[in-house]
Structure 1
Amino acid sequence: MDKSSKLYNKALEKYNKGYIDKAEEICEKSISLNINNSASINLKGLLYYINGDLDNCRKLWKMNFQINKDRVSDKYLQDTKDDQKLLELYNTALILIKELKINEALILLRQCEKSHFNYINVNNNLALCYIKKGNYIKALEHLDNVLKADNKNKIALESKKNLRKYNCTKRQINLKNISLTAICVFLVFGIGILIKINSANISKSLKSSKNKIMTSIHKKNSDSDKTKSNTDNVALNKQNNEEKSEKSKNEVFPYNEIKKHIDEKDFNKIHNDLIKWNNKDLSINEKSLLGQGKDLINSAGGEYFYNKGYEFLTKGDHNNTRVYLERAYEYGNGKWYYPHAIYLLGTTYQNLGDMENAIRYYSSYDNRFNNDEYEEIVLYNLALLYKNIDMNKAKAYGKKLVKSFPESIYNNTNIQNLIAK
């Protein structure tokens, strides 16, 4: 066996073990020793193919067929005729992901998944989509697919590291549980509304009764002597003291109730407990319990709120999206979902017509995460949002987009016309 063939076998071994960069390097050496080594040429073409480099793999296989009359290369070339369409679908899916149209992107990526073309990029982006949907087990499957082919793939390794870091690798969102949770939330909000309505009616009734009493007392004060007036005032003061005493009873720290919220990991109720009792004068045991609630919601509550916000976003419910993402933002600093929450808050406020807050969150993203995945569309949105507010800032963001991402799809006529003004 000649040296070129030995190198091919070594390259094939590296490829099968997931060392594709090393396999490509060895293939290059094999081909340089023997340009007629069809197997090495085909393998190098295959490495380009799974990395999504359609032009270079076709060039290699075409050369192999022309020089060596290799029928395998010819078969590969024939099979790539449909791959151009898959590349277009993949590029469209990337745009949809940036626009947070995850379900639509998944449809296209699943079509791309049927071919081995662009295998690594397709699986990485499928994993990204499933992470955004909270389906971490499915995401892990696609990351494992990538690492079997390229065990040093930086994107997959980083994604898997984040999943492990935040204990997501063994968690799967159960649709049945989501439905039950949604029903429970609906009932809680429904009961809350009824209570609020009844409380308002009771308050209105009490206010009306109190006004009548005050009017009666005032009339009696005018017609009665001083002693009678003092008697009435004493009675009124007694009534006010009783009301204050009753109100004081209602403000007793509900220790067992809050403990139940913590035990059941009811993050919505824990959030409300913290708002209500955080600055109150509490006993040591009460402060300790409230501290447990803070620790729990800081460690796991933010991700719950992010997933709920994203769930509402997919349904087009921008108001509930805003509520839950604001909570994710409050508790999520330093967590994997934090930049996603900031960007989504920007788009949510933009959809709600609140441009001031949209700019606030987009600017925060640009200042803190300008190397992350949404930076292109953030700069684009900031440029267009500022167009009718501050043209200098609009141009600055437009120029930053062009400079940082010259090949971006968002570097379009809207940006070019804005900069030219």
Structure 2
Amino acid sequence: MDKSQKLYNKALEKYNKGYIEEALELSEKSISLNINNSAAINLKGLLYYILGDLEGSKNLWKMNVHINKDNVSKKYLQDTEKDERLLSIYNTAVILIKEIKINEALIMLKECSGSHFNYINVNNYLSICYIKKGDYIRALEHINNVLEVDRKNKVALQSKKELINMGALSKSKIKLMPIVLSISILISIMGITLIMKNIKREKMDNNTSSKPVNMKENEIKENKIEKDKVEVNKAEVKKNLEKFPQEELNNYIKTKDYIKIYEILKKWDKIELDIDGESIKAKAKEMLFSEGRETFYRIGSNYYWKMDYNEAKSYLLMAYEYGKDSWYYSYCIYTLGACYEQIGNIEEAIKYYKYYDEGFEKGEYKEIVLYNLSLLYKNIDKEKSKYYGNKLVKDYPNSIYNNTHVQNIINNYY
């Protein structure tokens, strides 16, 4: 067996085991040693085809037909006639995903999934769509489709990591429990510490109020005022303690009513309570951080897809408040900007788009964020409009958003 054939066999083995980059490298070496090795040429063409390089695969198969009169390559070329259309559909789907039109993108990607052309990219975007919709079982199916072909695929591995971080995979729940417990204990300890400080402060206030009998009249008056303030403070704290809906909150925790939990915490979060009150508050916060926030994001996203932007905004703001370290945080910020833009609140839209621009250097929505900022500033601040237009052109010269609108802004045609 010649060296070219041995390399081809190794390439085929690597491909079957899911090491597509190594398979490409070995097939290339095989062809360089023997250009008449039609099997190696076909394999390399197939790898390009799966990766979405239609021109690359067609060129290889054309070469194989021309040099080796290979009938397999001829058949492959015939089958690629429909793939130009699929590539166009795929590119449109990617744009729709960036605009958070997930349902429309899914229809197009499902049509693309009927072919092995662009198999990795199509499955990666399908998994991203299903993650955004909260359908983690289907998302995992498409992630596994990619990893079977390309074990080292960065996009698929990142998507899988997101599922683990969200607790969508059983393995993650074991890892997250100790962390959640630690957070709960930490918050409880913080609550107890605050209460102890308050007690100590009250004791000091009481001690300082025991002045000698012979103090001046104005000092007596001042002391009385301070003492009255302390008494009012105590009465206010007592009043708050009596009103805190502890049993009600506990019931909401049991039934996982995240909205009611959020509403109570919003009102009582900064008010110091007794040990029991602080403990139940800590438990409620833990639930919002571990489960509730993702529910808020999912509901908000669903409202956004239904074009109910006011409802979407309400839930996304809750998700944003508790989501700083979450997998969805960047998506949430972008969607909030889009919601505010849709309802005509340009000031808030700009605020969240700028949060995205400043916080996510290589974010998935960076291009459209820069584009939106450039357009939104067009009639408000021409210099800022040009700044974001120039930034888009510089960082993403081949972007679909580098269009006539941006060029007109940059060249002062507006």
- Give TM-score scaled by structure 2 length: 0.82
CA distance in 2: counterparts of 1:10 and 1:23, whole angstroms: 8
Residue 170 of structure 1: CA displacement? 5.6
RMSD of aligned C-alpha atoms? 1.9
Q: Which residue of 2 aligns with 1:394?
A: 385
Specify the alignment match of 1:209 in structure 2.
none
Cα deviations by residue, 1:377-421 (Å, 9 ceiling, x for unpaired): 000000000000000000000000000000000000000000000
Contact 2:386 2:409 survives alignment (8 Å): yes
1:140-159 → structure 2 map (5 Å cutoff): 140-159=140-159
Aligned length: 348
2:360 equivalent among 369, 387, 396: 369
Shift of 1:166: 2.0
Give yes or no for the alignment of 1:310 onto 2:338.
no
Cα deviation for residue 279 of structure 1 reads: 3.3
Shift of 1:296: 1.5
Instruction: Map Cα deviations across residues 36-91 of structure 1 (whole Å, 9 max, x no partner).
Output: 00000000000000000000100000000011000000000000000000000000
Task: Report the equivalent of 1:383.
Answer: 374
Matched-pair contact (CA < 8 Å) for 2:265–2:281 = yes
Distance 1:270 1:249, change over 3 A: closer
Deviates more, 1:292-301 or 1:149-158: 292-301
SS of 1:40's equivalent in the other structure is helix
* Conservation of the 8 A alpha-carbon contact between 1:61 and 1:77: yes
Q: Which moved more, 1:329-338 or 1:299-308?
A: 299-308
Would you identify which runs of 4 or more consecutive aligned residues in structure 1 move more than 6 Å? none
* 1:129 counterpart residue number: 129
Instruction: Give the equivalent residue in structure 1 for 2:224.
Output: none
Q: CA deviation at 1:300?
A: 2.0
The percent identity for this pair of structures is: 59
- CA shift, 1:252, in A, is 2.9
Q: What is the distance in 1 between the residues matched to 2:271 and 2:65?
A: 80
Distance (Å, rounded) in 1 between the aligned partners of 2:384 and 2:307:
30
Between 259-268 and 67-76, the greater mean CA deviation after superposition: 259-268
Q: Cα gap change, 1:8/1:335 in structure 2, threshold over 3 Å: closer, same or farther?
A: same
Q: Residue 129 of structure 1 aligns to a residue in which SS? A: helix
1:280 Cα offset (Å): 3.4
Change (3 A) 1:38 1:354: same
Given the superposition, is the C-alpha separation of residues 249 and 20 from structure 1 closer, same or farther in structure 2, using an over 3 Å criterion?
closer
Segments of 5+ residues of structure 2 without an aligned counterpart are 172-238
TM-score of the pair, normalised by structure 1 = 0.80
The offset of 1:311, in angstroms, is 1.1
Alignment check: 8 A CA contact 1:4 1:34 kept: yes
Counterpart for residue 102 of structure 1 = 102
In the alignment, which residue of structure 1 is the partner of 2:338? 347
Deviation at 1:282, TM superposition (A): 2.3
Residue 278 of structure 2 is matched in structure 1 by 287
| CA distance in 1: counterparts of 2:162 and 2:270, whole angstroms | 35
Residue 2 to residue 313, structure 1, CA distance change in 2 (3 Å): same
Q: How far is 1:251 from its partner? A: 5.4
Distance 2:337 2:240 in 1: 43
- Secondary structure at the residue paired with 1:417? helix
**Structure 1: where are the runs of 5+ without partners?**
172-247
**Aligned residue in 1 for 2:78:** 78
Residue type matched to 1:62 in 2? K
The residue type paired with residue 125 of structure 1 is: Y
Aligned to 2:252: 261
Question: 1:366–1:379: 8 Å Cα contact kept in structure 2?
Answer: yes
2:143 corresponds to 1:162? no
Higher relative CO (CA 8 A, sep ≥ 6), structure 1 or 2? Answer: 2
Find the aligned partners of 2:27 and 2:368 in 1 and give their Cα distance: 39
Question: Who wins on radius of gyration, i.e. which is larger?
Answer: 1
Contact kept, 8 Å, 2:49 with 2:118, in 1: the verdict is yes
Distance in 1 (alpha carbons) for counterparts of 2:64 and 2:3: 19
Does the Cα contact within 8 Å between 2:374 and 2:387 map onto a contact in 1? yes
